[in-house]
Amino acid sequence: MNNSKVFLVGAGPGSLDLLTLKAYQLLKTADVIVYDRLVSNEIMDEINPNAHLHYVGKQESEHTIPQDEINKLLVHYAHKYKKIVRLKGGDPFVFGRGGEEIVELVKNNIAFEVVPGISSSVSALTYAGIPITHRGVSNNFLVMTGHTCNTDGLDLVPWSNLQSVGTIVILMGVRNKSFIAQKLIEGGKPSKTPVAFIERATRHDQKVITSTLFEVANKEIFVESPAVFVVGETVQFHHQWNWFLKEESLEGLGVSVGI
């Protein structure tokens, strides 16, 4: 094992002040930074100006660099540099494929460390005034990916099992939002269940779009990615608390567009 080390770092939901102190220190001292599309510009502005940057961003409908190549890229840089940061939006282990990258690093005897990040699966709701749990309304929650089909086009989600889930948070679900809403209804969720889409969560231009499962399944609703898709009765608190968010002058946070 050489003296290099790869740090899998969670960049959080986007706002610079939600970056962990350890992540910030690593960005200031890294030799190489391999980063994703979801890492915000304000965080990228804080990195070591002498670091070598390599963009490996992916979009919902287009993976420009296959995951296997990213895995090999980390090994490649570990043989050339001492401190490599693999910078990911959110947390490395919340649909971030951090585990796959670690498997490759271990196979090549390369030291690594995981630095957790605040996941948008919870923080997006917080900044939108939507509690992920609330006594008497939701006593459990589920986080899932919006990539609901495998390569053969077969549906992999047991939708009927989700009807008892209090709050459902779907990451990367914008592209398949109508399909997901229809499947949730077919699985037993009431069609009037409140829904929210939180665009650019925690950032100065965050926007919240509210609707219902029925409307998402049957109407054309424009949502810009990246956005967190939330389903559940706790969405109602966004409207009840929105005035307070604005009164607290959170610079645009809490802006709501009702459908």
Q: Tell me, what amino acid is at 133?
A: T
Catalytic residue set: 36, 58, 172
3-state secondary structure of 156: coil
CA–chain centroid gap for 107, Å, is: 28
Cβ-contact 24, 33 below 8 angstroms: no
User: DSSP class of residue 159?
Assistant: G
Cβ-contact 227, 175 below 8 angstroms: no
Q: What are phi and psi of 104, to 5 degrees?
A: -70, -40
Q: From 155, 245, 259, 160, select the one nearest 206 (Cα to Cα).
A: 245
Which secondary-structure segment (H or E) carries 247?
helix 236-247
User: Residues 196-227, buried b or exposed e (16+ Cβ, 10 A)?
Assistant: bbbbbbbbeebbbbbbbbbbbbeeebebebbb
